[in-house]
């Protein structure tokens, strides 16, 4: 990869090339962080489901032996209180994970806006089609903005799904539905294989991966 510039485009476009390369590295790092958070959230969500099932079981009427009703009732109340406290703690942990994901998405959005700004600068300097010479191997600056926009859109949809799961998971009494929520969290339906290919292409184009 070369970032050499001709005399007529030294300065801003050299800076643009550096910004695009830095953004590519940031995309990789943000997605790695997101995946770690997804794994952490999946474990917490599983715990929430298990606690919910235990709570549901505890809420069901128990067969009480004559003379033991008060003691059994007291133990059930203690167990239920502990279960509710543990459930609340796990929900708070999952909320923390989702908030961290939202923070990552905010940073992704800033990269998209920055790259659109670079495209606007090129359009101002070179006309509507932008810089005719690629900054790296073959991609136009517009292609960088398009790839970033596609990646951002998929993670934005995925975050919305995770926010829904966060709101519903602890309150869902349907076991089948909780399994759907767990599966959706873990396998991230809005983050497709094509997104991984886009990231790899981005890293190749900017020299972070060897051709």
- Let me know if residue 27 belongs to a domain: yes
- Let me know if residue 60 belongs to a domain: no
- Let me know if residue 1 belongs to a domain: no
Q: Which two tokens stand for residue 87?
A: 């459930």
Our count of domains for the chain comes to 1
Residues of the chain with pLDDT > 70: what percent? 81
- Let me know if residue 54 belongs to a domain: no
Q: How many CA atoms lie within 13 Å of 187's alpha carbon, on the beta-carbon side?
A: 7
Per-residue pLDDT tens digits for 120-150: 999 998 888 777 788 898 999 999 999 999 9
DSSP string for residues in 124-188: HHH-TT--SS-SSSS--HHHHHHHHHHHHHHHHHHHHHHHHHHHHGGG---HHHHHHHHHHHHH-
- Let me know if residue 199 belongs to a domain: yes
Q: Residue 98 is part of which domain span?
A: 12-42+91-205
- Let me know if residue 180 belongs to a domain: yes
- Let me know if residue 19 belongs to a domain: yes
| Helices and strands (H, E) in the chain, number of each type | 5, 0
- Let me know if residue 95 belongs to a domain: yes
Per-residue pLDDT tens digits for 147-202: 999 999 999 999 999 999 999 998 888 889 999 999 999 999 999 889 999 999 99
Say which residue, 172 or 9, is predicted with more confidence: 172
Cβ atoms of residues 11 and 191 within 8 Å: no
């Amino acid at each position: 990869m070369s970032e050499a510039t001709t005399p007529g485009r030294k300065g801003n476009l050299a800076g643009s090339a550096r910004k695009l390369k830095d953004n590519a590295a940031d995309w990789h790092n943000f997605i790695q962080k997101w995946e770690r958070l997804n794994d952490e959230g999946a474990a917490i969500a599983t715990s929430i489901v298990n606690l919910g099932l235990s709570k549901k079981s505890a809420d069901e009427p128990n067969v009480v032996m004559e003379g033991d009703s008060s003691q059994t009732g007291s133990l059930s109340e203690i167990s239920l209180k502990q279960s509710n406290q543990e459930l609340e703690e796990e929900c708070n942990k999952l909320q923390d994970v989702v908030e961290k994901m939202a923070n990552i998405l905010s940073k992704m959005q800033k990269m998209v806006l920055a790259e659109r700004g670079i495209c606007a600068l090129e359009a101002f300097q070179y006309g509507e089609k932008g810089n005719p010479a690629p900054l790296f191997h073959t991609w136009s600056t517009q292609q960088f903005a398009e790839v970033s926009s596609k990646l951002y859109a998929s993670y934005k949809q995925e975050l919305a799904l995770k926010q829904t799961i966060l709101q519903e998971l602890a309150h869902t009494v349907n076991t089948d539905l909780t399994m759907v929520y767990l599966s959706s969290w873990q396998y991230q339906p809005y983050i497709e294989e094509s997104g991984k290919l886009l990231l790899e292409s981005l890293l190749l184009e900017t020299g972070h991966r060897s051709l």
